[in-house]
Structure 1
Amino acid sequence: MSIRRLVRGTIEWDRLETVFRELAARYDESELRVEFLDADNWLSTPAVVNDRWFVKIVTGQNSLVHALFTGARNLGVFSSGTEGFFEHFADPMEMAEHELEATRRMRDIGVNVPAPIEAFEVDGMGVLVMEYLPEFRSLDDCPPDEVERFAPEVFEALSVMHAHGLAHGDLRGENVLVHDGAVYFIDATSVREDGLAEARSYDLACALGALEPLIGARRAVTAAVEHYSPEELLAGREFLDFVNIRPDHDFDAVEVKAEIEKLAESERE
């Protein structure tokens, strides 16, 4: 059993049946075909239902793990020289409702996301329902030439979020999906409004960290500068070391910093 599956926990089958009975009743479906996903996910049990709906089931254990992760991330941000800006959720339903609302807000401003449908509570668990995107690939499963082609779109979408007062907060290769020739975003987390400026810099560091192993530091920075100024990239540079110690990132932070500094130096000349 993987550490992620152990931390995520296992939901008893009778509780799962209760969730899917409620889902069938809500959508007037006499039969459900459920495929559980062995996704790289700490914070929910994900499933695809009838090849139409992507369902995330959030338990009390998931909520507790999220609180622990939030504390660790805020401590890491503090070590980077700024106050922590991640928010935790009171319970599983609040986690599901936040992701639903974050997805709606991104969709409203034109960022590609799976269509948000609803969130509801069953037996103390939060259940999030969204559109299922068939035949998608995560960005880190794409070949390098495709990643290089999509990299400017990643930064363009981030810049749209940031211009509208949003931050993703958990940008990783597996949270960027490629579907039907376009880039989609999933799994946005919660940040405090008074920490948005730092959260945007953190987003940039995460995006550069996700792209560097796939296309190299120079190409990642070149894609970023299409939508961000050298000053903004320098602010993101301050979070690179913290991002790199996360278990879901592994990249050459030294090379990324060097490319940002070369870019900033060329702008000063």
Structure 2
Amino acid sequence: MDIRQLARGTVEWDRLERVFRTLAERYDRTVVRVEFLEADNWLSTPCVVDDEWFVKIVTRQNALVHALLTTGRNVGAITSGTGGFFDRFETPLGMVEHEYEATKRMREIGLNAPRPIEAFEVNGLGVLVLEYLPEFETLEELPDEVVRELAPELFEMLATLHEHGLAHGDLRAENILRCRGELYFIDATRVLEDRVAETTAYDLASAMAVLEPRIGARETVDAAAEYYGSSDLLSAREFLEFVRFRPDHEFDTTKLRSEIEKVADLDRG
């Protein structure tokens, strides 16, 4: 069994049935049709219901794994010269309520995100219901030339998020979707609200880490520099090593650092 499957665990069928019966009752359906999704995901059991809703089912084990990952991320943040800024969840309900609110806030400030329907609890399980986006592609599935075209849009979306005092906290290729020709953010995690400078720098470093292997360091930094100043880029530079040690990012840290420093030198000149 894959380590992520082991960490995620499985949900007993009778508990899943209770979730789906509850969904049918809440949405006035006699029955619902469920398609479970294969997902590289540690933190929920994802499925599509009636081709209309994307549903995440979160267990206590998922919440525990999130807490362990949060501890590791905070240790990594400390090694980058700042205190930890990731926040944990105490319950499965807390996890889905956060994602519901985070998705709602992104839409309120004009960013693309799946429409949040509701978050609730069934028999100790957290249940998040979102709009289902049909025929989407993740950023990692797109050709390099398309990623190059979308890079400025990605940084514009991220800058809008940060201008409103928000952060994503888990920006990676799987959490950036293209649907109907536009980019969408999903799966924002919880970060401390009073650490805006650090979370902004971390998000920016993560975005550059996503793009560098696809379009190169120079084009990545040039696209970022359209929406972020040299001081922001230099702050993000301090998180590159931390981001590089995460298993879902593979990029050339040295080249990114060099291009960031070139932009900063030009600004100072």
Q: Which amino acid aligns with 2:177?
A: L
- Name the counterpart of 1:74: 74
Measured on the aligned residues, the alpha-carbon RMSD in Å equals 0.8
Alignment of 1:235-246 (within 5 A): 235-246=235-246
Q: Which amino acid aligns with 2:112?
A: N
**Percent identity of the aligned residues?**
62
- Name the counterpart of 2:188: 188
Partner SS state of residue 183, structure 2 = strand
Moved over 4 A (4+): none
Deviations 1:141-162 (A, max 9, x none): 1000110111111111111110
Alignment of 1:47-66 (within 5 A): 47-66=47-66
- Name the counterpart of 1:175: 175
Distance in 2 between residues matched to 1:23 and 1:213, nearest whole Å? 41
Deviations 1:194-227 (A, max 9, x none): 2121000000000001111111111111111111
2:255 counterpart of 1:255: yes
Partner SS state of residue 47, structure 1 = strand
Alignment of 1:129-208 (within 5 A): 129-208=129-208
Tell me by how many angstroms 1:29 deviates: 1.6
Tell me by how many angstroms 1:261 deviates: 0.8
Partner SS state of residue 127, structure 2 = strand
Moved more, 37-46 or 102-111: 37-46
Report how many residues are paired.
269
- Name the counterpart of 1:94: 94
Deviations 1:75-126 (A, max 9, x none): 1000100010110011000000000000001100001000001001011010
Tell me by how many angstroms 1:31 deviates: 2.6
Deviations 1:49-100 (A, max 9, x none): 1111000000000000000011110010001000101100110000000000
Partner SS state of residue 188, structure 2 = coil
Tell me by how many angstroms 1:33 deviates: 1.6
Distance in 1 between residues matched to 2:3 and 2:257, nearest whole Å? 31
Q: Which amino acid aligns with 1:134?
A: P
Task: Give TM-score, length-normalised by structure 1.
Answer: 0.98
Gaps of 5+ in 1: none
Task: Give TM-score, length-normalised by structure 2.
Answer: 0.98
